Structure 1
């Protein structure tokens, strides 16, 4: 009995170790660029540069939730409250902001470029691919081509009424969910139409998540903000 128990003690850590290794080894099946590879890409094509959104659109509002504990992970995931995206993405966002300004509205950014390693952490804790990207495929956020955002009223500085808050894992967060007050639907649909006019597409499960139409041209990245 003691002999069998000792074998069990040995096997359980081994299995757990194999499981953990398998869970973390996503990058072995993907091309995820590090800083050196990224710099080579940018040298060959300046449009692949990650740029800070606030520097190109100073008037834009930031509410970087993953730099706080106010997110579904309930802890700080970013060390800096900053937002980056590929240069063409930011230039398209600049056009969106100008368009919205004529309507008395502006953008609030919740998240943009996300290092691949953070996506792995998200998935390990919440493996729901309706709301969290599968690391085996990577996220458009990891490519610097996805933006999480909402609308604000420029006069009041307050958020407009939307179906849910950011990062709500509910059916109401769906981009086409219909059982909502008219004002929430109108605001959501306005955001969808303006973003679409400038090259972005909303994903079906999250009204706040928009992918840049040119995302396939950009590789996955795992570069911390401090290194950009």
Structure 2
């Protein structure tokens, strides 16, 4: 009888609180929806489906060793002018028997934040043998390999290479496999159907500098072919990375976006 009375009193209190609009327990906050891309952004495949896409940060084969935050789909998103300029460059290369292959395009700020967290974790060295074998991880910020902001987040920067047609298939990376230095001979590096550029993509080494004098012969010719094809359409190369180009003038030169990489961000499904 005493227990029944206590229960009735509790129910009466809850009912009174509800009538007065008083919260009796914290409600679960609804998730904040992801931001959407401005209308000036497009999927590269909608502008030029012939450009090969190998979106490394969607996979575990990158210098962090895991899929990167914000890469919900393995797709290239760019501002429309940058995508159209790539289409023009691709048209010229196709006539010569080559194709562009993109590794990374628009990069959300949350992905850059992921890089920064990884760079500060000095115990995580799992991908060092391939991507930064000669660089101490404590130097990644000072040497400019990692920064808290990236031009990729503005939407007009792309990381890419050239592939000789017909394109050979590239085998998938197997997490935990033995890694080989990114600056080794092409036959020894992780197999990539790219032409020989002297290093692999995202190689934290001075040999990746576009005009490093040690890069000669076929490797030099391949870098010049890429730079010439893109430079003729308004892209400017970053001297420290042979694969890194920014379309000028940038549509959003001062804005760093954080919408995730997916069709949904562009107003589509998925």
Measured against the shorter chain, the TM-score band is: 0.7 to 0.9
Which residue of structure 1 lines up, in the alignment, with residue 190 of structure 2? none
Please tell me whether the aligned partners of residues 131 and 205 of structure 1 are also in contact (alpha carbons under 8 angstroms).
Answer: no
Question: Could you tell me how far 1:125 is from its partner in structure 2?
Answer: 2.1
Per-residue deviation, residues 149-189 of structure 1 (Å, max 9, x unmatched): 00000134432111110111011110111112410010001
Paired residue for 1:211? 246
Q: Is the 8 A contact 1:176 1:204 kept in 2?
A: yes
Q: Secondary structure at the match of 1:73?
A: coil
C-alpha distance after superposition, 1:43-64 (max 9, x if no partner): xxxxxx2111112111110110
Taking the aligned partners of 1:222 and 1:162, their CA distance within structure 2 comes to 31
Matched position secondary structure for 2:61 = coil
Of 151, 154, 173, which residue of structure 2 is paired with 1:140?
Answer: 151
| Cα distance in 2, alignment partners of residues 125 and 76 from structure 1 | 12
Equivalent position to 1:153, from 149, 164, 172: 164
1:107-146 → structure 2 map (5 Å cutoff): 107-126=100-119, 127-128=140-141, 130-132=144-146, 134-135=147-148, 138-146=149-157
Structure (1 or 2) with the greater strand fraction: 1
Question: Residues of 2 paired with 1:196 and 1:181: CA distance?
Answer: 20
Question: Which residue pairs with 1:61 in the alignment?
Answer: 52
Bigger shift: 117-126 or 190-199? 117-126
Count residues with an aligned counterpart.
183
Shift of 1:130: 2.3
Structure 1, unaligned stretches of length 5 or more? 1-33, 43-48
- Structure 1 residue aligned with 2:231, among 196, 200, 223? 196
Q: Is the 8 A contact 2:156 2:251 kept in 1?
A: no
Is 1:101 matched with 2:99? no
Give the Å deviation of 1:93: 0.4
Residues 193-220 of structure 1: CA deviation (Å, up to 9, x unaligned): 1111100011011100101111264421
Q: 2:261 aligns with which of 210, 220, 225?
A: 225
**1:76 aligned partner:** 67
CA deviation vs aligned residue, 1:109-165 (integer Å, no higher than 9, x gap): 000000011112212322435222x22xx2211011100000000134432111110
- Normalising by structure 1, what TM-score? 0.75
Relative to its length, the structure with more helix (as a share) is 1
Gaps of 5+ in 2: 1-33, 120-139, 169-192
Residue 52 of structure 1: aligned partner: 43
Q: How far apart in 2 are the matches of 1:82 and 1:195? A: 20
Provide the residue aligned with 1:6 in structure 2. none
